Amino acid sequence: MKEGSMRNFGVHSALLAMMIGACSEGGSGPGATAGDDGGAASDASAPDAAASVDAARDGGSQGGSDGPSPTDAHALPEAPSIDAGPCSALAASGTWEPITPPLAPLHGVAPCPYGGELAMNPLDPSMVYVGSCNEGIWKTTDCGGSWTHVNTGTNGQALDTGRQWTFLVDPSHPDVLYTNSGYNTYVQGGTYDGNGVSGAFKSTNGGVDWQVIWPPADPGLAKVVEYNFVGHVAMDPTNTQHLLVSFHAQCAAPHSAACFAETFDGGGTFTMVDGMPQWAGGEGQAIYFLNDGATWLFGSQSNGLWRTADSGAHWTDLNVTQGHAAGALYRATDGTFYMATPNGILRSPDGVAWDLVPNSGNTMLGLTGNGTTLYASRGFPWDPSTNLYEPFWTSPEADGQHWTQMSSPQMSNGGTLAYDRVHHLLYSSNLGAGVWRVVMP
C-alpha cells in the first residue's frame, strides 16, 4: 500500500454530533425527525417499519443499477491497484477552501449539522465520500473540486432520508463501503412517518447500491437493540471482513444493557457480544479495534473507557472518564495511540495505559496525522452567529502532549478529519460549517 494509506486504526466518527443533535432535538430514538419538538420516538417494531426493513433487505422496489445483487453483496471483488487521481485547482498552501457538496438547506441550517461523516479512499485519496442529513451520499474523485450524488441504486432512498455519522471504506477493496442511516424517515411505498429503515448499510460498488446489514436477517437478533439505532461501525485493521457495530441505544434481555454486534463476513451474519453486567448501556457507546482483531476499546459516558485483549471475554477498567461519546482513534508512527473525546485528547504509548493530555481542547471529535504532524478538531460550539471560532488543533507527532490551536477561518463546528499524503491535503467535514480542505506545508 502506497504512502497515501491512512494510519487511522479506528474509524472517524461523527457520533458525538449525532448524539448531541439527538438531545437537542428532544427525541431519544431514531423515530425523532428533524422537525420534532421533543415528541416520543416512533415504535420501531410497528408493522410498516418491519415491512420496510424486509423490503430494503430484499433490495427494495426502487430498481437497482447493474451492481451486485443483495444475494452476492458480501462477495469481495479483486483488490485494485489505484494511483492517486489529480486534484482540481488547489489553493496556495495554508489557504482553507470550502468544498461542501451542493446540499440544500434543511430546517434553516445548511448543510445539516447531524451528518457529514467523511471517509477517504486510502488507495486513491483524491476519492472522498461524505454523508449528509437526508440528502444522501456524495462522492468526489478530484479532491472536492466536484461532487456526485452517488447512492442512486438499490436502497438509495433509505440513505437519502437518513443521517450518516459513521462511514468506512475497505482499504483493500475500496468499492466496499459501510455507513448508517439514522433518524430515517423513508418507509416502503413513499410514506414519511419516522418508521424508516434505520441501521447499517453496505455497498460493494462504490456507493451506488446498498444492502441492509443491520438489523440482520436473523429475527432473533433484529429485535435486540432498541430502534436498531446504530452508532458506530469499526473495522479490524488485520481483517477487513471483521467488523464491530456499537449502538446508540440499550440492548434487551437476555443480553446486557450495553451490547454490540460482531461479524466476520462483512455483515453477512452477526453474533452479539455482551458488555459487563454492570454497564448501563444507553446512549454514548463506541467500540474500537486497537492493533489486532481481539484487542478492543469500549467507551461511553455511563461506563467510562474499558479494554479487552480477548474479544470481550474479560474487560479492564482504564479509569478514564468519558463524555457523551468518543471521536476518532489514531495510531502515530511510533505506535502511540490518540483518541479524541469530549474531555480532550487521550494518549497511550501502548494501548493499555491512557492519560488525558492537559490543555488539549474539549469536545474533541476528529483526529488524524501524516506521520509528522497530528491534527485534531473540536466539534462545538454550535451557534455560528455567536460562537464562531477556530476549531482545529495540532501537535508534532513526536510529541503529542502539547497542542496548539491552528489558524483557520471562523467556523461554528469542527468535525471529521482525513489526511491525503499524496497531495498533502487535510480534509475536514465540519457539521454545520460544511466540508473544507487545506494544503499543508
Domains observed in the chain: 15-63+81-439 (2.130.10.10)
The C-alpha cell at 191 is 410514506
Specify whether the CB–CB gap between 188 and 60 falls below 8 A.
yes
Return d(Cα 96, Cα 104) in angstroms, integer. Answer: 22
Is residue 151 a contact partner of residue 160, using CB atoms and an 8 Å limit? yes
The cell for 258 is: 450495553
Taking alpha carbons only, the member of 161, 156, 211 closest to residue 185 is 161
What is the model's pLDDT at position 136? Answer: 93
Amino acid type, 197: V
pLDDT of residue 110: 57
User: Cα separation of 169 and 145, whole Å?
Assistant: 20
DSSP character string of 81-116: --PPPPPSSPPPTT-EEE----PPPBTTBSS-TT--
Select from 163, 180, 182, 33 the least CA-distant residue to 111.
163
Angle in degrees, CA 235, 422, 207, rounded to 5: 45
Integer Cα distance of 144 and 5 in angstroms: 18
* Amino acid symbol at 29: G
Residue with cell 488539549: 360
Task: Let me know: does 411 contact 430? Beta carbons within 8 Å.
Answer: yes
Measured between alpha carbons, how far is 387 from 377 in angstroms, rounded to an integer?
A: 15
Quick count: other Cβ atoms within 10 Å of Cβ 380?
Answer: 22
pTM: 0.82
Q: What is the pLDDT along the chain (441 residues), one digit of tens a residue?
A: 333 333 333 333 333 333 333 333 333 333 333 333 322 333 333 333 334 444 444 443 333 333 333 333 334 444 455 567 889 889 999 999 999 999 876 655 555 666 679 999 999 999 999 999 888 999 999 999 999 999 999 999 889 988 898 999 999 999 999 999 988 765 544 443 445 667 999 999 999 999 999 999 898 898 899 888 898 999 999 999 999 999 988 899 999 999 999 999 999 999 999 999 889 887 778 899 998 999 999 988 788 889 999 999 999 998 887 766 568 999 999 999 999 988 899 999 999 999 999 999 888 999 999 999 999 999 887 666 777 889 999 999 999 999 999 999 998 888 899 999 999 999 999 888 889 999 998
DSSP assigned state of 346: E
Strand partners, 337: 331, 348
Q: Are strands 211-214 and 186-187 parallel, antiparallel or unpaired?
A: unpaired
pLDDT score recorded for residue 262? 98
User: Using an 8 Å Cβ cutoff, are 392 and 403 in contact?
Assistant: no
Tell me if 421 sits within 8 A of 372, measured CB to CB: no
The grid cell for 382 is 454550535
Q: How many residues does the chain have?
A: 441
φ/ψ (deg, to 5) at 19: -65, -45
DSSP letter assigned to residue 169: E
The DSSP output letter for 393 is: E
Dist CA 119 CA 13 (whole Å): 9
